[in-house]
Amino acid sequence: MYKFKKGDSDYHDSLNANFDETMKNTGNETIAGIKNFKDGLLFNGQQVQAGLFKRAVTDSDRADPTNIAKVNGTFTRIGNLVHVAFNFTCDVWASGIETRWVLKVPDGYKRDSSDPEYIALATSRNANQPADARAFINKSNIIEVKSGNGSSYVSGTWITNDPFPK
């Protein structure tokens, strides 16, 4: 950018030629290129949603490694929203068992503790699921599921106040 000096004969021409490199405080404009705001970004005093983090759901996330197997899926975080989509297998769902603890939610994806005790998640039925099959995330950040023998599929979204994952 040009540095203006008092007495420049072409002051106005130089100013106009370099104006597209300066962001204005008011008015509408398009800003080209990638801008990295490392300390955050606000819009009208409110934090703008930012950051996309994806993490695989793995066997190490199981809350019940004895009975829960073949876990796979993803935790996805965009800003303060978390979405989980995963499936698992349980071949020992004895009659009368209510919910099983299936997954532990990792740091960076945990639910806001000020929300209600249970946040409902969606589960799709397999041939062995009872009519009252259900899934939710509890206040301890454990995903609980009532299902039946075989594969089960769970997905859902919640709000987090966790620091961003590393």
Q: What is the CATH number of the domain that holds 124?
A: 2.60.40.1830
pTM given for the model:
0.71
Do residues 90 and 15 both lie within one domain?
no
Do residues 92 and 129 both lie within one domain?
yes
Predicted pLDDT at 61? 97
Residue-wise pLDDT for 90-119, tens only, equals: 888 767 777 889 999 999 999 998 988 999
Strand pairing of 118-124 and 150-159?
A: antiparallel
Do residues 79 and 120 both lie within one domain?
yes
What average pLDDT does the segment 58-64 reach?
A: 95
Do residues 112 and 135 both lie within one domain?
yes
Predicted pLDDT at 131? 76
Residue-wise pLDDT for 113-122, tens only, equals: 898 899 999 9
Torsion of CA 108, 110, 112, 114, to 10 degrees: -130
Predicted pLDDT at 97? 74
Do residues 143 and 101 both lie within one domain?
yes
Do residues 75 and 42 both lie within one domain?
no
- What is the residue-averaged pLDDT of the chain? 84
Print the domain residue range for 65: 52-159
